[in-house]
Amino acid sequence: MKKSVGFIGWRGMVGSVLLDRMQKNNDFKKIKPVFFTTSQVGHKTPSILGCSQSFLEDAYNIEHLKELDIILSCQGTKYTLIIYKKLRKIGWKGYWIDASSALRLKNNSIIVLDPINMNSINCALQKNIKTFVGGNCTVSLMLMALGGLFQKNIVDWVTVSTYQAVSGGGAKYMLETLKQMGYIYNKISLNNTLLNKGVLEIEKIARDAVQDRFFPKKYFTVPLAGSLIPWIDIPMKNGQSKEEWKGAVETNKILDSKNYIPIDGTCVRVDSLRCHSQSFVIKLKNNISIKDIELWIDSHNPWVKLIKNTPEDTKKNLTPAAVTGTLNIPIGRVRKLNLGKNYITAFSVGDQLLWGAAEPLRRILNILISQ
């Protein structure tokens, strides 16, 4: 019999990308989907071929949720913290799949990224673990790019500088960034300045637009378009941001590291729309040739693609514009650093709504429905 799967958060960015991928892969044919909402009870369900439900159900209705075999939530931490506990408390034994960070570090949960940790997922299934959580987008994208090096166990430590897309904040942040971009452009074009004025005069109009009191910054609180914000998520006691803290903690849990691998750096929000980019400095345990490093990286999984270290290849293939909307994980600028023979650098890009969020959830759902 087909398993019943409840979808919560399907209207958000991660959820919408998930539904799109599931439709493209005919995943809905394998399950009996039920769509829920936290704010639009009674509104129409998304149009999914073969889905007979017409109206959205209440995502807080425990009586209804407890009947499901699997619940997949892309709604966020707050929802998970309220509902998950209630369901487990009344003895619900179904699989819980989650995009949020709420349960990632619990002992009885697995962070899922099957091209990296299929062994851990199999072990978890044997142990009857029922909670499977997608990783932090930056962490999942780093592991998809550097999986070949971690697999060879040659990484001593990593330091990373990130360039993270606004989609990481959710729908409201994405829309606000586009509004900011539009606001600047409108001020310039309204003044008909593009043709008549010098570049610095135009830049001054743009600068004044960013600083005027009507500039849209309700969610970011500061301008992002044409700027950046070197802080993501809440502060930790040691001066890291929580996004930076997750780098090492989640990576080591996913890899099930016998020896802890230090990973740290600075996470930065930029006005890219949905691709996170990352610049790595990696200390290897041994002096490995660039040829071997490239081979190990490139052959690790079907999505990672080594980009030649030339200006042409880099500009064509190693940018958010080239990657957005695809599952490709290009990694380039691979070279030894002048710091010493064991030090290398690399740069990677990935769509943070696909491998960074929705795709690992879609894949674990497929694994679980065949259990």
Ligand X SMILES: NC(=O)C1=CN([C@@H]2O[C@H](COP(=O)(O)OP(=O)(O)OC[C@H]3O[C@@H](n4cnc5c(N)ncnc54)[C@H](OP(=O)(O)O)[C@@H]3O)[C@@H](O)[C@H]2O)C=CC1
Ligand Y SMILES: N[C@@H](CC(=O)OP(=O)(O)O)C(=O)O
β-bridge pairing 343-351 and 329-336: antiparallel
DSSP state at residue 28:
G
Q: Are 77 and 170 in contact (CB under 8 A)?
A: no
For the record, the structure tokens of 232 come out as: 């993501």
For the record, the structure tokens of 230 come out as: 């070197």
Q: Are 109 and 334 in contact (CB under 8 A)?
A: no
Task: Name the amino acid, one letter, at 60.
Answer: Y
Verify binding: residue 18, ligand X, rule CB under 6 A: no
15, interface contact from ligand X, ligand Y, none, CB < 5-8 Å by kind: ligand X
320, interface contact from ligand X, ligand Y, none, CB < 5-8 Å by kind: none
300 is catalytic: no
Applying CB under 6 A, the site for ligand X has a residue count of: 27
Q: Which is nearer to ligand X, 137 or 307 (CB)?
A: 137
What is the spatial order of strands in the sheet that 109-112 belongs to? 57-58, 31-37, 3-8, 70-73, 95-98, 131-134, 109-112
Q: Are 194 and 202 in contact (CB under 8 A)?
A: yes
11, interface contact from ligand Y, ligand X, none, CB < 5-8 Å by kind: ligand X
C-alpha gyration radius of the chain: 22
Name the minimum Å distance from CB 114 to ligand Y. 18
φ/ψ of residue 54, rounded to 5: -100, -35
Q: Which residues contact 62 (CB under 8 A, 6 or more apart)?
A: 83, 86, 87, 90
DSSP state at residue 221:
S
Q: Which is nearer to ligand X, 233 or 294 (CB)?
A: 233
Site mask for ligand X (CB under 6 A), range 64-83, x = bound: ----------xxxx------
43 is catalytic: no
Name the minimum Å distance from CB 360 to ligand X. 9
Catalytic residue among 74, 267, 275, 276: 276
Name the minimum Å distance from CB 116 to ligand X. 16
Binder to ligand X among 1, 39, 52, 128 (CB under 6 A)? 39
Verify binding: residue 137, ligand X, rule CB under 6 A: yes
Q: Which is nearer to ligand X, 275 or 307 (CB)?
A: 275
Site mask for ligand X (CB under 6 A), range 161-190, x = bound: ------xx-xx-------------------
Name the minimum Å distance from CB 136 to ligand X. 6
For the record, the structure tokens of 327 come out as: 């599952």
Name the minimum Å distance from CB 149 to ligand Y. 23
Catalytic residue among 137, 267, 275, 300: 137
Residue identified by tokens 């080591």 is 252
Residue identified by tokens 């990373």 is 160
Q: Which is nearer to ligand Y, 6 or 169 (CB)?
A: 169
Contacts with ligand Y by CB under 6 A lie at 100-101, 136-137, 164, 168-169, 232-233, 243, 246
Q: Which residue numbers are catalytic? A: 137, 276
